[in-house]
Structure 1
């Protein structure tokens, strides 16, 4: 079987190499190095060691992943004739993609792999920066850095920053979370005689010319919460603090029930911002909707029922499940295909329903718009002094509507009915009742009673057409009596 021994060259020069590692290098029958760009390599060559390098592969490929895969292919070809020793910078198991690919080959039974020692670049970097990793640190790959990988409250080390192109990508990713002028440290050749630390503002990161394969970027943690506001965890901390023992009395008192009206209001305000194509307003209103989501999740966590992780897991699983054309093998070439699949999957997820009204959702309503219009007008004094004025206006509009009904003019009936509804919303405002909530309760009440009527019909001798209106009304009254009995318990 093909045999490959991997040796780490450490982070510094030859003086830092262990005696055992040095002997393995000297005894290697065929020594291959990933790159010439390492202090130990230069010193070993002066001692007469013959080594083959993969630097040419870097020049021949467009992406680092292609480079690493090609190196592994070459290693497998070379080991077909005799065992080889493969030397990599640092420790073989720290930020070394080619070794991870070799481990995959080992698991599949293609090679026999031995991994020898070699100190990683982390220890000399911690020493150079005078930081303690127990405080929390991250080691991230600069060639594949994603904004959401970064934890701003921790020490962040970004390796594999070989050149200005990688540094530019790293800079842009970090600037999505950190202030542009956040000071970072460029660490080069840590632990060697050529060790160098350069402090620069984040926005200048790719303008430094001393970047090479021995470069690591250090991003100091940000402990100040107000400077971490772009971080999800920071917002979650804020919500938890507001509902905590030393937080806000109002926030602590809120429940899922009391927050319902605010979720409705914020959703419609977001819709208004979208309709007005106001990006700044959309940002603000999205934040207000997000606040409601986090508050509900925090309430769930405080009560011990669920957490934000449960919310994310549920919606994430749903998106994967309902997009089999993306995450599985289902074919969906058009939007129609996608919607058809979506509905079919949705039907499979839902339990069998017993009512025609089951699954009906509240849709966008003008009730809240009416409520907000009148609330705004009242703030500037355009309002009845007492609720009696609102009642009188309702009676006036109701009389006018009845007259139009008798006259039979559809257009004017629509207009007058709108006036009636508008005055009812105003009465709700005086009473500090959300018209949306009131309408929702009425809908739920109707749904409950009508479902009872349906059940009575199904238990009887036929369908709706076999019952008189009086019989159906009796079923309805049964439902009302049933509600009354529950309320008196």
Structure 2
């Protein structure tokens, strides 16, 4: 006997002996069955009286999997409504890596159609048996199709991952490219083919080799061991939380949102210094220091009930997506100038939505804590985004000379201070037009000055003279010597 409504049946991972007794009894009791695909070894052993239909032609006629799954769901529901009953069978377990079943169950509930699920062994059990490992407690399950469409892996790198549905070399190649963002080419991985069938095979190979395997097929999965300990953001956040815990570090527990502010500024300048020196190892370390402070600030905010780290990530995630409709939407922008103009329009719309448009202008969002050169350049850039700018660089050059002349004619200390400020502001604008960051340019000039002056000090010691006893000509000669060495 078969029941009214929809029966969803799991066919197991492949080997006929892994079909459950409940599933086999149901197959013997029904006149017909609908399969998501005939490409399953168990199908050949179905009762001879069973009429078999499949949705394989839907795969051939559709352009993408989403369309395939929608069509299958609709047809299963239609069959249930027309005949009062239908059995729909899928490979493995109905709720493991099976997109159609959850949607059928959801839609059937809305339509008041009874649903019965006959479970099956999923592909997971034979895969982990083949690997001889226990996935508990931290392994993650990843869809190869989704992973291959990304630019970076979407799971923590310090946990093992099982990547399913690597059914072709092309999918394997796409997965490999995504994983290469974090995992090196030589990283050792394992491909599991046809787990739970007589054709089962496990390959141990380097990551770069996975798309070269001749054994890839419909039942292929990739096992990815952990990259290393302490390589995920989640693990790092646990370290930071531990520092702040009662059994953590007394110094870290004393820190506040306010006390960490100056440290964040200092560490940010150390990142800039590493960038100026093009010192990659230092840059990696300094970025870690900044990340520590960002994580610590988020942890303290969480403890005080303001927000937690996920809200920080979610906020910037949504802002980036919202402000890049030309990347994540259908807005067509041809160049960076168009992007910046649209950026300001979006921020103006946000201000209106938040009820702050009348109180705040486009310059109000620039932090007054920024160094003056940085703030000047940001003011000029934001004004330029809405069209308040010179038409060409000649006008900028003339403005610099105009401000220089006004400085020359200034008499009082107040006038001199004002004109020096105007001249500096004009020079920052000139820097912007040359696509040079004014703060970086001045910082590098400071470094050059320090290096050259140290050369003068060193040569004075070699000469056995106090620095103050050198004549201006001697200092100038040593300065030029240092300048030539620098070049």
TM-score, structure 2 as length reference: 0.62
CA distance 1:60–1:270, change in 2 (3 Å): farther
Contact 2:189 2:222 in 1 (8 A): yes
Shift of 1:292: 2.9
Shift of 1:22: 0.7
- Report the counterpart of residue 172 of structure 2 in structure 1: 167
- Report the counterpart of residue 140 of structure 1 in structure 2: 142
Secondary structure in 2 matching 1:260? helix
Shift of 1:97: 0.8
Residues in 2 aligned to 1:51 and 1:282: alpha-carbon distance in whole angstroms = 63
Contact 1:405 1:413 in 2 (8 A): no
- Report the counterpart of residue 55 of structure 1 in structure 2: 56
Picking from 179, 200, 211, the partner of 1:195 is 200
Contact 1:64 1:143 in 2 (8 A): no
CA distance 1:404–1:242, change in 2 (3 Å): farther
TM-score, structure 1 as length reference: 0.62
- Report the counterpart of residue 19 of structure 2 in structure 1: 17
Cα offsets for 1:378-428 (capped at 9, x unmatched): xxxxxxxxxxxxxxxxxxxxxxx9x9744998599629999xxxxxxxxxx
Residues in 1 aligned to 2:76 and 2:211: alpha-carbon distance in whole angstroms = 33
Map of 1:52-201 to 2, 5 A cutoff?
A: 52-79=53-80, 81-82=82-83, 83-109=85-111, 111-145=113-147, 147-201=152-206
Could you tell which deviates more after superposition, 180-189 or 253-262? Answer: 253-262
- Report the counterpart of residue 42 of structure 1 in structure 2: 44
Map of 1:371-386 to 2, 5 A cutoff?
A: none
Map of 1:64-463 to 2, 5 A cutoff?
A: 64-79=65-80, 81-82=82-83, 83-109=85-111, 111-145=113-147, 147-225=152-230, 228=231, 231-240=232-241, 254-267=255-268, 288-301=289-302, 306-313=307-314, 315=316, 339-340=344-345, 342-343=347-348, 345-346=350-351, 349=354, 361-362=367-368, 364-366=370-372, 405-406=411-412, 410=416, 414=420
Contact 2:9 2:119 in 1 (8 A): yes
Contact 1:72 1:102 in 2 (8 A): yes
Could you tell which deviates more after superposition, 125-134 or 163-172? Answer: 125-134
Secondary structure in 1 matching 2:297? helix
Contact 1:273 1:282 in 2 (8 A): yes
CA distance 1:60–1:242, change in 2 (3 Å): same
Contact 1:31 1:50 in 2 (8 A): yes
Number of aligned positions between the proteins: 381
- Report the counterpart of residue 385 of structure 1 in structure 2: none
- Report the counterpart of residue 8 of structure 2 in structure 1: 6
Residues in 2 aligned to 1:337 and 1:12: alpha-carbon distance in whole angstroms = 54
Contact 2:30 2:50 in 1 (8 A): no
Structure 1 unaligned runs (5+)? 370-400, 419-489
Residues in 2 aligned to 1:186 and 1:7: alpha-carbon distance in whole angstroms = 28
Shift of 1:206: 1.5
- Report the counterpart of residue 440 of structure 1 in structure 2: none
Secondary structure in 1 matching 2:136? helix
Shift of 1:215: 2.0
CA distance 1:412–1:302, change in 2 (3 Å): closer
Residues in 2 aligned to 1:80 and 1:178: alpha-carbon distance in whole angstroms = 50
Secondary structure in 2 matching 1:294? helix
Residues in 2 aligned to 1:349 and 1:14: alpha-carbon distance in whole angstroms = 61
Residues in 2 aligned to 1:167 and 1:85: alpha-carbon distance in whole angstroms = 33
Shift of 1:88: 0.8
Residues in 1 aligned to 2:358 and 2:415: alpha-carbon distance in whole angstroms = 40
Q: CA RMSD in A?
A: 4.8
CA distance 1:209–1:78, change in 2 (3 Å): farther
Contact 2:32 2:50 in 1 (8 A): no
Residues in 1 aligned to 2:130 and 2:351: alpha-carbon distance in whole angstroms = 56
Structure 2 unaligned runs (5+)? 376-406, 425-487
